[in-house]
Structure 1
């Protein structure tokens, strides 16, 4: 009598293990905190502050997959951003401000998801950029959203399968404005090709900033990109068009590459500026894997604005990271930025990447030491 019972138990155990493998929910997160020294901050000479998210935004999240049969899966992700120094929610106080989506996935057609998501350029172009590895190797003020500070609400995304290294992503975000389908909408597309040594990618995003005759200017499906003095004079733009291309090449322990972006902030009768404001940005970097736990990255970014106003920005960065384990690392960053010309509000200010520290000055230096833990 014991033999049938043992067999039945084995079958149930096998079925349960298979079900668990095909249907799962994972809790994950990142805690990233640092001490930052800034020379020239907020119009003052010096500032020492605790700052979270210098390499990775602090977060916790849930992601899951359910097998629906025939190779079809249901997928979801809920991701919360927060500041460990204050306990406050990030992304404007949203509960799941980093990401919140649900969708379907299959190897043959890719993945379709609905919800609050990143644009297509973040998915495919960002991994070829220098700031993908460490940080602060992107445009001043993140005017080309090259550092992933912006997400889209009401987004529909298609991510293709991997076709021998070639991938395509498309997104469309509804404005949700009655009587004006195009008001507040955003859409993006990107493609990338990856080999054992190369990553090459390109993409485009259009963000409508709201039709003021139907709703209000600034009512858009996209998060605001006007968070620094670099481009805050253009928050009344009718729309923003951004194109980015990037590439990197790895040979032995060294990866080098860069990216170029062209961003245009368009004006109409409801804008407080005329014509358009354009940003040409170029960034180059070299990453050296000195040893398995230790890496160094050096980068330079040059940006020139023209149109409504004109300014020139130079930024140089050096970053180091040392892994203490598979989940914990310590890092250091040194950055210098300089600006000249006019930013639309007055004299240009030197903003380093997407740091929230507005200098009130034509130059700025940052020194950062931090720790990051993943779970």
Structure 2
């Protein structure tokens, strides 16, 4: 249950100014669980092949469950005339050890301030992009697939792995079921106004049992503007913020796309729809993720595999949910992802299946189970035989990986 921390109404000792109908709210959730995962990488052998084994682990929901644990503050002040000032500060955390998420950022999930009125809402700060805002809710990762049910290594950000810094964002009011919006992030590089910039646009439409969402994102120098926005990221063009090829002492990280850090531009297009039939919800969605102009080692990132041209991920998904009764919900999904690269005949293919069930003990507490299986084939971005890589988890040492989770999620 959400708790009202402050009701600011003429008693503010710091300013002495009366502020009627203003409030600040504390909120959050903790997603705790245990995962059993097959074939988890531990390191890379001297011949380049990964090594690993099965794993039992207590993991936060952001690494292997439905959603990342968090706490936050949000507030609103009535300015009169239909206008409101608002803010939100949200911190990610790992419940099992108490550390901060998002690379150690204090408010790494969200941090913004803005104004809201009849023309819409305008906010400034660290925020979600339009792909997340307008497409995510229709996909398996926002339902019972959770983080590990996202596309391989969350290549399209529908599991919300990344946020956008220095962003100006607009969201419209709802017009007969239609909502739209956009975001622009300034690069902030002196003498190079286009470098590291990012922008996105999206819309959502709901009409009875039918709903649709679509969005587009364009990130210049994505190794920094999109993947390098956490405090632990590097600003050097010799560093790879997108992933790692691993070492004799460490596993790989994001092998699905880690080899494409030299892309000058990244584009994501997503479209999704759902339709309700009684207690069933049927969903279909598609994302197209493209890394353009590979080989930009001057302003983007390293290119150890000497790639050029473009790399394209095409990824359709189907999902279904069934509300058995007010407390029990079931879901399943299938996703197919294919990587193709200019000048290379052998890309990579990923097939992924997920199933889940949740039972509400109350309005604030849910127990759930999720099972996900992924198989990979072909050659991935690290120019190796493709390994399976479930989002949030350490990649597999082989072409297959499965994870099973039993979890408890509590809102407050």
TM-score normalised per structure 2: 0.82
Give me the CA root mean square deviation. 1.7
Q: Which runs of 5+ in 1 are unaligned?
A: 1-14, 211-217
Match for residue 254 of structure 1 among 257, 280, 283: 280
Match for residue 66 of structure 2 among 38, 41, 55: 55
Q: Deviations over 1:81-100 (max 9, x none)?
A: 01011111000100000000
Matched ranges for 1:268-287 at <5 A: 268-270=295-297, 272=303, 273-287=307-321
C-alpha deviation, 1:148, in angstroms: 1.3
Contact 1:173 1:221 in 2 (8 A): no
Between the aligned partners of 1:165 and 1:150, the Cα distance in structure 2 is 28
Between the aligned partners of 1:364 and 1:32, the Cα distance in structure 2 is 22
The reply on whether 1:265 has 2:303 as its aligned counterpart is no
C-alpha deviation, 1:45, in angstroms: 2.4
Between the aligned partners of 2:400 and 2:226, the Cα distance in structure 1 is 34
The reply on whether 1:369 has 2:406 as its aligned counterpart is yes
Contact 1:154 1:221 in 2 (8 A): no
Q: Deviations over 1:332-371 (max 9, x none)?
A: 011111000000320111112x222211210011110010
Contact 2:262 2:296 in 1 (8 A): no
Between the aligned partners of 2:58 and 2:326, the Cα distance in structure 1 is 29
- Corresponding position of 2:387: 349
Q: Deviations over 1:186-245 (max 9, x none)?
A: 1000011012211101110011117xxxxxxx3326545545111111122211111000
Match for residue 333 of structure 1 among 370, 375, 388: 370
Between the aligned partners of 1:39 and 1:330, the Cα distance in structure 2 is 23
Q: Secondary structure of 2:324's partner?
A: strand
The reply on whether 1:231 has 2:236 as its aligned counterpart is no
Contact 1:137 1:285 in 2 (8 A): no
Match for residue 184 of structure 1 among 189, 196, 203: 196
TM-aligned CA distance change 1:350 to 1:105, over 3 Å = same
Between the aligned partners of 1:148 and 1:255, the Cα distance in structure 2 is 22
Q: Which runs of 5+ in 2 are unaligned?
A: 1-8, 11-17, 42-50, 230-240, 244-252
Contact 1:137 1:283 in 2 (8 A): no
- Corresponding position of 1:290: 324
Q: Deviations over 1:165-203 (max 9, x none)?
A: 101010001111111111111100001101221110111
Contact 2:263 2:296 in 1 (8 A): no
Instruction: Say how many residue pairs are matched.
Output: 350
- Corresponding position of 1:151: 163
The reply on whether 1:94 has 2:131 as its aligned counterpart is no
- Corresponding position of 1:214: none
Matched ranges for 1:24-173 at <5 A: 24-42=23-41, 43-53=51-61, 54-106=65-117, 108-134=118-144, 135=146, 136-173=148-185
Between the aligned partners of 1:138 and 1:33, the Cα distance in structure 2 is 18
- Corresponding position of 1:306: 340
Q: Secondary structure of 1:219's partner?
A: helix
Q: Secondary structure of 1:141's partner?
A: helix
Between the aligned partners of 1:21 and 1:256, the Cα distance in structure 2 is 45
Between the aligned partners of 2:97 and 2:308, the Cα distance in structure 1 is 41
C-alpha deviation, 1:146, in angstroms: 1.7
Q: Secondary structure of 1:131's partner?
A: helix
Between the aligned partners of 2:19 and 2:353, the Cα distance in structure 1 is 48
**Rg bigger for which structure?**
1
Q: Deviations over 1:123-156 (max 9, x none)?
A: 1111222222222443111111121111100000
Match for residue 219 of structure 1 among 208, 220, 224: 224
Between the aligned partners of 1:137 and 1:235, the Cα distance in structure 2 is 24
Between the aligned partners of 1:337 and 1:221, the Cα distance in structure 2 is 26
Contact 1:201 1:247 in 2 (8 A): yes
TM-score normalised per structure 1: 0.90
